[in-house]
Amino acid sequence: MPKTDTILSTKSLHYFLQLIDTMNYTQAAQILGITQPALTQQIKKIEHAIGTPLFGQMGKKLYLTEAGKQLQTGAIKLLGTINSVVSDIQEFTQADKGNIAIGVLESINYDLLRKFLVEFNKNYPNITINVSYFNRKDLWYNLDNNLIDLAMLYLPETTKKSQSNLQNQYELMKVTQDRLTILTHDKNLEAGNSYPVSKFLGKRWVLYPDSFYLTQILKGKLGNKMNARNGLNVPLTFTSTKEMVDTAQDTGYDTIVSNSYYSLNQSQINLVPVFLKGIKKFTISLIYRKGKKEVPRIQNFLKEFKKFLEA
């Protein structure tokens, strides 16, 4: 048996992809539930089997080598195929057994899902639920390649590809409505009120990266009122909502969150929550491939989630 057969197992590839997600050995090991030396040894074994480094290091930061990028592509396809085969087999099993992988858009902080999963687990302890957070691009990639069963994201989407996928390949279940909330240092504004764009021009912001849905909404609205001299001033960006809000509170910068996040964490936030006039509410939905509802455990999950939301 070639040494790559034993080294490039599904487990080792999963470890490899998790390290890519964090680019930090300590964080990846914690997520995987193993020690950092064990993860380091596993990566070194893969590199030895392949014969070339998968990661390089610049200062304290890791980066993927060209070989690493090629293995990443192959690993995602391989694990996607395996997950698809396992999913097909489990379609013929009972509704109370199997695995469900859920991808959640990073900027969604929806505690109701967590509460439902706690209740669902009590009633169906033999169904394993895996929840992962992604940016929009990676979320769609994982959904397209069958690496996750369900995706929770904001709608309407802003990309033609997403709209096309929704119409031709996917079904959705509407979960709840949400809205963009501005957290501002301006004490002259009254919490919960809506204000025109003019109130927010010339401010400094700490935001999500440009690829995030909420940032696109804000820039789409404020951008129409900006000019070259008075552009949107964003000195800092974070993918973590908590880090973004904490930074806004430690500076004079304003920021944005979903209203659901603010409602859940308002006791720790000392900024004024207001809304921007002209921005409609958006819907949080569960997206899944057509035919997924025929899988007993998925059908059961969606049915129980709907009952939970209606209770």
CB-based contacts of 298, cutoff 8 Å, min separation 6:
100, 149, 150, 288, 292
Q: Is the pLDDT of residue 80 over 50?
A: yes
**pTM for the full predicted model:** 0.60
Look at residue 295 in the predicted model and tell me its pLDDT: 84
Average pLDDT for 264-273: 92
Average pLDDT for 287-306: 88
Structure tokens at 68: 């690493």
Highest mean pLDDT among 103-107, 166-170, 296-300: 296-300
Phi and psi at 104, nearest 5°, equal -125, 135
CA–CA distance, 47 with 64 (Å, rounded to integer): 12
Buried b (16+ CB within 10 A) or exposed e, 29-47: beebeeeeeebeebbebbb
pLDDT digits (tens, 9 = 90+) for 97-125: 888 999 988 777 667 888 899 999 999 99
Phi and psi at 239, nearest 5°, equal -85, -20
pLDDT band at 65 (very low <50, low <70, confident <90, very high): very high
Q: Which residue has the higher pLDDT, 246 or 215?
A: 246
Look at residue 190 in the predicted model and tell me its pLDDT: 95
Sequence-distant contacts of 80-86: CB under 8 A, at least 24 apart:
80/145, 80/146, 80/147, 82/10, 83/146, 83/147, 84/146
Question: What angle in degrees, to the nearest 10, is found between the helix axes of 10-22 and 36-50?
Answer: 110
Q: Order of strands across the sheet with 255-258?
A: 194-195, 272-276, 180-184, 255-258
280: left (phi over 0), alpha (psi -120 to 50) or beta: beta
Phi and psi at 42, nearest 5°, equal -65, -40
Average pLDDT, the chain: 84
Average pLDDT for 61-77: 89
Look at residue 13 in the predicted model and tell me its pLDDT: 86
Question: What does DSSP assign to residue 24?
Answer: -
pLDDT digits (tens, 9 = 90+) for 119-150: 999 999 989 899 988 877 888 888 888 889 99
For CA atoms 202, 204, 206, 210, the dihedral sign is positive
Look at residue 280 in the predicted model and tell me its pLDDT: 82
Phi and psi at 205, nearest 5°, equal -125, 150
Q: Which residue has the higher pLDDT, 269 or 231?
A: 269
Look at residue 228 in the predicted model and tell me its pLDDT: 40
Q: Is the pLDDT of residue 255 over 50?
A: yes
Look at residue 205 in the predicted model and tell me its pLDDT: 94
The answer to whether 166 and 224 have CB atoms below 8 angstroms apart is no
Average pLDDT for 78-97: 70
Q: Is the pLDDT of residue 173 over 70?
A: yes
Look at residue 231 in the predicted model and tell me its pLDDT: 60
pLDDT digits (tens, 9 = 90+) for 26-45: 888 888 888 899 999 989 98
CB-based contacts of 57, cutoff 8 Å, min separation 6:
63
Highest mean pLDDT among 54-63, 151-160, 181-190, 222-231: 181-190
Per DSSP, the three-state class of 296 is helix
Q: Domains in the chain and their CATH numbers?
A: 3-72 (1.10.10.10), 95-178+283-310 (3.40.190.10), 180-278 (3.40.190.10)
pLDDT band at 53 (very low <50, low <70, confident <90, very high): very high
pLDDT > 70: percent of the chain: 87
